[in-house]
């Protein structure tokens, strides 16, 4: 049964500075509020019984309805986390329902924002399929400016989940490092939340518009187009990157926080220190995702077991050889040394040697700025039309330097 602390949602938000209350978790079916448009995914993943696309009868907006197996305490953990968390790079909660007789195996669902640009896994699959049979010099690569954008977005989401640091926080990594040395920080200020299942399937893309933001440095940071006043800027028109699926997430001081024998996650994206789950484990997974995007590895960075392996996938995921040589791959010659260096830091074998999320974010900002100054970031580079095919979003850039290679020489921007 669920730890009672998770049932006191108001107390959780009051003590940890969560946002104002959103839609309450209903105990009655929400069919009167939403029309089901169709099935997006059949039941897959942790406690996931299928995903549907729905439309609000009041606003006409589309949302995703995730049907969840209500027989486990993980249900309330995910619902209450999504309801409480508020960050631009974390999937947004809209509604939820838990039947009053939920523990008798009735239905339960959570409703979240819909991301029509799909996932990083879909992006990987498209590039991999398009490049089949192509020599290295004729392959099409995900633009580096977008790789940095994904990297930064995920690091920002992690520093919020792990340490409660919001976008625009002006404290330095050194100041934050000093704060978290006191264990009371996680009891009294912010309950560290580990995602534990970061992978391309759980990273979503959503249409966005340029928005005015505040920055606190006079120098240009990648992804920000400076205007007349140094303190104001417009965010580049990239798709918004969202971390989703908190079915395996865990909060500090939960009864099963200090476990050492539970393997959870997806083995192809698991950090090497498992079954120990740490904040640096999430960082390793982010580094693995970025490496996979650069190297176009849709099947994951962890090697499959050898043909003569007979002990099963879980045993292989614990084996050191499963991750042997991952850091040696590098991001490839088509990307900057700065990007390679930051990914390299994330994938260190010993978790103590990896950066915490707020240090990682600083490394990303500095690395991207340096890569930009050296001319590695081609801001005039477009995605080929087949990447976001069917979407109406215009993606950052003006012209692609790969124009002759993309879509039989007819690369086009995605029209607004």
Percent of the chain whose predicted confidence (pLDDT) is above 70: 73
Give the contacts of 60 (CB within 8 A, at least 6 positions apart): none
pLDDT at 128: 93
Provide the mean pLDDT of the chain.
Answer: 77
Q: Are strands 62-68 and 48-56 parallel, antiparallel or unpaired?
A: antiparallel
Compute the half-sphere exposure of residue 270: CA atoms within 13 Å on the CB side of its CA. Answer: 25
C-alpha 173/C-alpha 362 separation (Å) is 8
Least confident of 110-124, 294-308, 382-396: 382-396
- Burial status of residue 309 (CB atoms within 10 A of its CB: 0-12, 13-18, 19 or more): middle
243 pLDDT higher than 60: yes
| Tens digits of residue pLDDT in 246-294 | 988 888 877 666 555 566 777 788 888 877 888 999 999 999 999 999 9
**Are 248 and 48 contacting, i.e. CB atoms less than 8 angstroms apart?**
no
The whole-number pLDDT of residue 75 equals 66
Only one residue has tokens 């523990």, namely 103
Cα torsion angle, 44, 49, 53, 58, sign: negative
pLDDT in tens, 51-92: 899 999 999 999 999 887 766 666 677 888 888 898 999 999
For residue 123, pLDDT beyond 80: yes
Mean predicted confidence (pLDDT) in 312-333: 78
Q: Does residue 24 or residue 116 have the better pLDDT? A: 116
| pLDDT of res. 267 | 77
What CA–CA distance (Å, rounded) separates 247 from 220?
38
| Percentage of residues in the chain having pLDDT higher than 90 | 39
CB neighbours (10 Å) of residue 352?
A: 8
Sign of CA dihedral 24, 29, 35, 40: positive
Band the pLDDT of 183: cuts 50, 70, 90.
Answer: confident
Q: Please determine, for residue 345, whether its predicted confidence score (pLDDT) is greater than 90.
A: yes
What does the pLDDT average to over 383-390? 78
Q: Which residues contact 326 (CB under 8 A, 6 or more apart)?
A: 288, 291, 301, 302, 347
Whether the pLDDT of residue 227 is over 60: the answer is: no
CA–CA separation, 389 vs 281, rounded Å?
Answer: 34
> Is the previous residue joined to 275 through a cis bond, with omega within 30 degrees of 0?
yes
The stretch 361-372 carries a mean pLDDT of 95
Question: Cα angle at 333 between 332 and 338, to 5 degrees?
Answer: 80
Say what the pLDDT of residue 143 is.
92
Compute the distance between CA of residue 23 and CA of residue 79 in angstroms, rounded to an integer: 11
Q: Give exposure, 175-188, as e/b (b: 16+ Cβ within 10 Å).
A: ebeeebeeeebbee
Pairing of strands 93-98, 25-26: parallel
Position 175 pLDDT exceeds 70: yes
Query: Over 50: is that where the pLDDT of 174 sits?
Result: yes
In this predicted structure, the answer to whether residue 46 has a pLDDT above a threshold of 50 is no
| 167's tokens | 């976008």
Looking at residue 337, its pLDDT comes to 95
pLDDT-based confidence at residue 414 (cuts at 50, 70, 90): very low
Task: Identify the DSSP state of 119.
Answer: B
Q: How far is residue 196's CA from residue 77's CA, in Å, rounded to a whole number?
A: 14
Whole-number pLDDT of residue 396: 40
Per-range mean pLDDT, top range of 221-225, 316-320, 329-333, 391-395: 329-333
* Helix (H) or strand (E) run with residue 204 in it: strand 203-206
Residue ranges in 110-194 assigned as alpha helix (H): 120-131, 144-163, 173-179, 184
């Amino acid at each position: 049964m669920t730890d009672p602390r998770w049932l006191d949602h108001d107390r959780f938000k009051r003590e940890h500075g969560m946002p104002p209350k959103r839609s309450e978790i209903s105990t009655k079916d929400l069919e009167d509020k939403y029309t089901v448009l169709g099935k997006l995914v059949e039941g897959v993943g942790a406690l996931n019984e299928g995903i549907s696309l729905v439309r609000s009868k009041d606003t006409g907006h589309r949302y995703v309805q995730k049907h969840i197996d209500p027989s486990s305490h993980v249900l309330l953990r995910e619902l209450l986390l999504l309801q409480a968390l508020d960050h631009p790079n974390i999937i947004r909660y809209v509604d939820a329902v838990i039947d009053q007789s939920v523990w008798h195996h009735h239905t339960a669902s959570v409703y979240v924002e819909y991301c029509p640009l799909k996932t990083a896994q879909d992006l990987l699959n498209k590039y991999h399929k398009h490049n089949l049979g192509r020599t290295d010099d004729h392959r099409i690569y995900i633009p580096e400016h977008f790789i940095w954008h994904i990297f930064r977005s995920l690091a920002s989401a992690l520093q919020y989940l792990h340490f409660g640091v919001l976008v625009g926080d002006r404290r330095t990594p050194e100041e934050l490092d000093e704060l978290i040395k006191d264990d009371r920080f996680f009891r009294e200020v912010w309950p560290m939340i580990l995602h534990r299942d970061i992978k391309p399937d759980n990273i979503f893309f959503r249409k966005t518009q340029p928005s005015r933001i505040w920055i606190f440095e006079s120098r240009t940071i990648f992804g920000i187009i400076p205007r007349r006043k140094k303190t104001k800027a417009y965010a580049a028109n990239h798709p918004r990157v969202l971390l989703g699926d908190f079915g395996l997430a865990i909060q500090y001081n939960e009864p099963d926080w200090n476990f050492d024998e539970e393997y959870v996650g997806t083995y192809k994206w698991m950090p090497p220190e498992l079954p120990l789950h740490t904040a640096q484990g999430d960082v390793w997974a982010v580094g693995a995702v970025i490496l996979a995007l650069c190297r176009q590895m849709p099947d994951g960075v962890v090697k499959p077991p050898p043909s003569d392996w007979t002990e099963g996938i879980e045993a292989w995921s614990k084996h050191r050889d499963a991750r042997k040589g991952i850091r040696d791959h590098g991001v490839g010659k088509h990307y900057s040394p700065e990007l390679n260096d930051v990914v390299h830091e994330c994938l260190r074998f010993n978790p103590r040697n990896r950066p915490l999320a707020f240090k990682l974010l600083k490394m990303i900002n500095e690395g991207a700025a340096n890569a930009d100054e050296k001319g590695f970031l081609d801001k005039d580079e477009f995605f080929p039309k087949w990447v976001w095919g069917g979407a109406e979003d215009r993606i950052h850039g003006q012209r692609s330097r790969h124009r002759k290679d993309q879509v039989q020489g007819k690369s086009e921007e995605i029209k607004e």
